[in-house]
Amino acid sequence: MAWKQNIIEDFKQLVSFDSISFHERNTADWLLARLKSMGFSVEEDQAGAYYGGDTGNIFAVLDGELEGDPVIFCAHMDVVEPGSGKKSVLEKDGTIHSAGDTVLGADDISGILEILYGVQLVLDSGKPHKKIEILFTIGEELYVKGSDVFDYSKVTAKQAYVLDLSGAVGDAARRAPSIISVRAEIRGKAAHAGFEPERGIHAIAVAAEAVTRLSMGHVDEDTTFNIGTINGGTATNIVPDSCVVTGEIRSYDHSKALEYVKNTEKIFAEEADKAGATAEVTHQVHLVAYETPVESRTVKDFLKACEKTGLPGTLTETFGGSDNNSFAKHGIEGLVLSCGMYQAHSTNEYTKIKDLYDGAELIRTLIEL
Per-residue pLDDT averaged across 237-253, rounded? 98
Q: What is the pLDDT of residue 133?
A: 98
Closest-CA residue to 162 (of 37, 39, 287): 287
Cβ atoms 360, 2 nearer than 8 A? no
Q: State percent of the chain over pLDDT 90.
A: 99
- Does the structure show a pLDDT above 90 at 206? yes
Phi-psi category of 247—alpha, beta or left, where left has phi over 0 and alpha has psi -120 to 50? beta
Per-residue pLDDT averaged across 165-187, rounded? 98
How far is the C-alpha of 40 from the C-alpha of 60, rounded, in Å?
6
Given pLDDT bands bounded at 50, 70 and 90, which one contains residue 1? confident
Q: What is the pLDDT of residue 68?
A: 86
Q: What is the pLDDT of residue 110?
A: 98
Write phi, then psi, for 244 (nearest 5 degrees).
-120, 130
Given pLDDT bands bounded at 50, 70 and 90, which one contains residue 26? very high
Answer yes or no: pTM beyond 0.85. yes
Cβ atoms 85, 98 nearer than 8 A? no
Q: Which of the pair, 162 or 69, is modelled with greater confidence?
A: 162
- Does the structure show a pLDDT above 80 at 289? yes
Residues 76-96: tens digit of each pLDDT: 999 999 999 999 999 999 999
Residue range 2-176+289-368, CATH number: 3.40.630.10
Helix (H, G, I), strand (E, B) or coil at 296: coil
Q: What is the DSSP letter of 20?
A: B
Write phi, then psi, for 43 (nearest 5 degrees).
-140, 150
The angle subtended at Cα 24 by Cα 147 and Cα 141, nearest 5°, is: 50
Given pLDDT bands bounded at 50, 70 and 90, which one contains residue 54? very high
Output the furthest CA–CA distance in the chain (Å, rounded). Answer: 85
Strands 171-173, 314-316: pairing is parallel
Q: What is the pLDDT of residue 367?
A: 96
For the chain, domain boundaries = 2-176+289-368, 178-287
Given pLDDT bands bounded at 50, 70 and 90, which one contains residue 203? very high
Given pLDDT bands bounded at 50, 70 and 90, which one contains residue 29? very high
Q: State percent of the chain over pLDDT 70.
A: 100
Q: What is the pLDDT of residue 187?
A: 98
- Does the structure show a pLDDT above 90 at 358? yes
- Does the structure show a pLDDT above 80 at 331? yes
Sorted by sequence, the CB contacts under 8 Å of residue 24 that are 6+ apart come out as 53, 54, 55, 77, 78, 138
Q: What is the pLDDT of residue 124?
A: 95
Per-residue pLDDT averaged across 208-228, rounded? 97
Given pLDDT bands bounded at 50, 70 and 90, which one contains residue 236? very high
Mean pLDDT of all residues in the chain? 97
**Active site (catalytic) residues:** 78, 140
- Does the structure show a pLDDT above 80 at 197? yes
How far is the C-alpha of 173 from the C-alpha of 164, rounded, in Å?
10
Residues 102-157: tens digit of each pLDDT: 999 999 999 999 999 999 999 999 999 999 999 999 999 999 999 999 999 999 99
CATH architecture of 178-287: 2-Layer Sandwich (3.30)
Sorted by sequence, the CB contacts under 8 Å of residue 174 that are 6+ apart come out as 291, 292, 293, 294, 299, 315, 316, 317, 335
